[in-house]
Structure 1
């Protein structure tokens, strides 16, 4: 049996002009190869893009340098790996991700390198001098030159501004309010989350702080429903992470992936959203963050559950077994998200997932998936009560979080549940429409049972039309700024309940605003409102309000909104 041929060693001459096996070599390619061997022997194996930047390239030419280096590595017959998992075989790696790094040498390849200075073996000092590592350490040790990660007094101002932005986001003040807030004069700080995070950007002193600002801005734009702006900030974040080896890089990478998946979900591209989340879970570094960082785990589980919920609802009419399996998985993931929220002591996260779980239970019941084991209680299902209690729990959490504004989603979900059993013929007359008997807030409160104290009279008037009107008034006055889907949902619920109360003029006004707001929504969400407008409102109101035309391919949907 023939023996496998051992690859020949590579002789690398560091003295100018640099060479490999006696042949002239590009300095950048040779530098990267030597840097990888040094990392393999002394630093744990990985060379990141930040190690190249400033030494052999700047941020604008990094991709070109890496591409040239790998062409040279192939010519030198040496295998080089990339990515966080140094146990993978380089021949199986995805070349499309190669330019992102980090780079490493397999052990067998590292043994082949012979680093020389004028034909003799290079010393450790000479290798460090060639790579620029010694001068870098000396600069860091000079008096009066604090290390790049040193704590500065300026950091306090940055972190204060970041907290102000996050608090404003929790209170629903996402963009510049129309009316000034009571606390603005006292603090002298911008009162909207977007303004606050941009000011935090001017105070950021480190690469990590700047990347954190970019991530938070992307998250804000996603919540505002502006996918284009969110994706621009995600692209900026990717460049920041690739150009600098910032502390917390694994966390930033994981959150970048989650926000990208949110953008896909908002655009109703469910396969892309699930693909991004799956890829994150399978990635060695990001999967580790997912397992051990409760905030990241909450975001991942909550979004995965929402994707499963949407897929289950879409399949319920054609493939009941597949829909039931997805519905079960959705409820399971919501449960894991809730546990992660409490693990991280985040009532804000917990109230979101509690409401999502309640609405999922109700929607599954609506499409004939009420016999799920997860929805059974004492041998039978009481889905509406269970749904209301989860949403009431969400509202209770809102009321017990300092500075937390009340959730518009909770009101929207409960108003839909309250009228969920009202199913008249399409385009009923006003008289037929008003004969329907939706559950009133008092009845919903009774269903909430021990959680009924979440519905105080201040935030929950006795009529649904007043519940919707109060939240719309907050939006119009600038006390809160609801993103497009929430705003449209409140407008439709107000129109429905105003019409039910006989106030067609108020209903027409809300529908007029809704018509102007609909173009900002994705097509599937527009279709939901178009169908509901044409089919569930009284004929007299439909005639006067001139609803949007139905799409050519008409397809009804159930409950497309999500948080």
Structure 2
């Protein structure tokens, strides 16, 4: 006969060194267990992989952390579940899919846990502190309101949603962030908003914002998972604002495709959205959605135009003209929605597009009519200066890494030495210095203040890299790699090969994060554009080998 004895309680000490029934326990395993117990206590929720990342792990170690945790759970005699079906018995689940999550604690197992702080029962605030969450205020009896009513919990939810969006604008994307005056990261705030969400719409809005945040962090896999979750939420419930959520889901999916350099898919998603009656209506009347659509469509057209310029100039010119037109529409939509943050992004994109089109021989477009090549450079610099000016006039807005990257590329853009020049040949080049670029900005020159724009480009790059390395900003792989390469180029130009070599060593670590086309750009630039003496010391990545011809 099966035993009817109730399973033994487990005493979990939260203070360091953490333990289970007096035995030392791995922090990551214990954190996941307590997080599942917390989710169960607040509505039977689940813990997703995104909840682990940034708290106890990163993308490269998630699988290892989960495997270790489940070995510990087994040693502690706990049955823990995974997957979306919370009604399944854990012993019947497919262990091969366990690492994908989400994770949850059956009710019987949750009752066994005794959370302690120095051998006394832990308070809700102490549990929240251990998990890195803020304690939720208990709801008083009789305070329940109808689900469609407006109540005070809404204010707390919207406060955290705004905090997340503001932190994202300031570059505080993921924990830990140094020097933030006690304010948290965007990821922390959006997770807290998720615990406060009181309606299907609020929960779906959290999922959308999580997807947007992971996309900005350069983690397409996490972004796509949150988009799949959003799709399930919209299909399972009649969510208020569903047309907006559907439109933004499509746009973020297109962003993921663009980030992966799948331009046909990105434009197919955007085109399908414009042809769908419900979403086209949102696109027409919602300026935020229209900004996102026009800006991304313009970026895709820009990439296609640059790729076609050498082989099909008429097609490239048409795409370039469409790109500039859509950038203009995106800028108008940004100001229509009173979003300086959106406006600064598209202003920088317009400036870089003008410069890039000129570089590939598309300088006679109607939108770029000018008397000489210097005008295009001036126009490009002025658009980027306008972007930087907007950054400086947005309350709490962090400076854009892209503006610095674009200007450093423009400043050295006319330098065209032979491949792998000697150091003497390389240093004989004369890139525009920050003062010359500031002069090109004309009336917008005051955007380049001395505090954020030192007198040498190598220091401009170094300052932004220092922000990233100290945790004051979090730049995704492509921005980080771009800053490292520009620093290496300008450090070598200043004769500091050791500093250049250190940046190239860091760039080598970043390259595996990037899509193949972006890796190829840095590989070619490293092999060909840097001085031979530096290339000899900091050996560049190998170029992709040409496919072998089949024997006849």
- The answer, yes or no, to whether TM exceeds 0.5 is yes
Which of the numbers 388, 407, 414 marks the counterpart of 1:414?
407
Give TM-score scaled by structure 2 length. Answer: 0.72
Contact kept, 8 Å, 1:376 with 1:382, in 2: the verdict is no
**Structure 1 outlier segments of 4+, above 3 Å:** 143-147, 377-381
Kept after mapping to 1: 8 A contact 2:284/2:290: yes
Judge conservation of contact 1:468–1:490 (CA < 8 Å) in 2. Answer: yes
- Residue 473 (structure 1) aligned to one of 440, 463, 466: 466
Q: 1:151: Cα distance to partner?
A: 0.7
Which residue pairs with 2:169 in the alignment?
170
Residue in structure 2 matched with residue 182 of structure 1 by the alignment: 181
Secondary structure (helix, strand or coil) at the match of 2:450 reads coil
The Cα of 1:179 is off from its aligned counterpart by 2.3
Distance 1:495 1:197 in 2: 36
Deviations 1:1-26 (A, max 9, x none): xxxxxxxxxxxxxxxxxxxxxxxxxx
Corresponding residue number in structure 2 for 1:241: 234
> Residue in 2 aligned with 1:391?
384
Q: After superposition, what is the alpha-carbon deviation per residue over 1:361-401, rounded to whole angstroms, capped at 9, x for unaligned?
A: 00000000000000114799811000000000000000000
Q: CA deviation at 1:286?
A: 0.3
Instruction: Map residues 80-159 of structure 1 onto 2, 5 A cutoff.
Output: 146-159=145-158
Partners of 1:296 and 1:241 in 2: CA distance = 18
1:293 aligns with 2:298: no
Change (3 A) 1:145 1:182: closer
1:443-483: CA deviations, max 9, x gaps?
00010001101000000000000000000000011110111
**Which structure exhibits the higher relative contact order, with contacts defined as CA atoms closer than 8 Å and separated by 6 or more residues?**
1
**Residues 365 and 383 of structure 1 are in contact (CA less than 8 Å); yes or no, is this contact kept in structure 2?**
yes
Aligned equivalents of 2:280, 2:542: Cα separation in 1: 46
CA contact (8 A) 2:218 2:476 kept: yes
Q: Is the 8 A contact 1:371 1:381 kept in 2?
A: no
Q: 2:427 matched to 1:428?
A: no
Partner of 1:226: 219
- Report the counterpart of residue 431 of structure 2 in structure 1: 438
Q: Are the equivalent residues in 1 in contact too, given 2:210–2:226 (CA < 8 A)?
A: yes
2:98 maps to: none
**In structure 1, what is the Cα distance between the partners aligned to 2:304 and 2:323?**
10
The structure 2 residue matched to 1:456, chosen from 413, 435, 449, is 449
Tell me the alpha carbon deviations over residues 467-504 of structure 1, each in whole angstroms, 9 at most, x when there is no partner.
Answer: 00000000011110111100000000000000000000
**Secondary structure of 1:382's match?**
helix
C-alpha displacement of 1:177:
2.9
Structure 1 alignment gaps of length 5 or more: 1-58, 61-142, 185-190, 555-563
Deviations 1:133-156 (A, max 9, x none): xxxxxxxxxx99744211111111
**Residue 374 (structure 1) aligns with:** 367
For 2:234 and 2:332, locate their aligned partners in 1 and report how far apart those are by CA, in whole Å.
30
2:255 aligned partner: 262
User: Greater CA radius of gyration, 1 or 2?
Assistant: 1
Q: Does 1:541 align with 2:540?
A: no
Residue 208 (str. 1) matches residue 192 (str. 2): no
1:488 corresponds to which of 466, 481, 486:
481
Gaps of 5+ in 2: 1-83, 86-141, 548-552
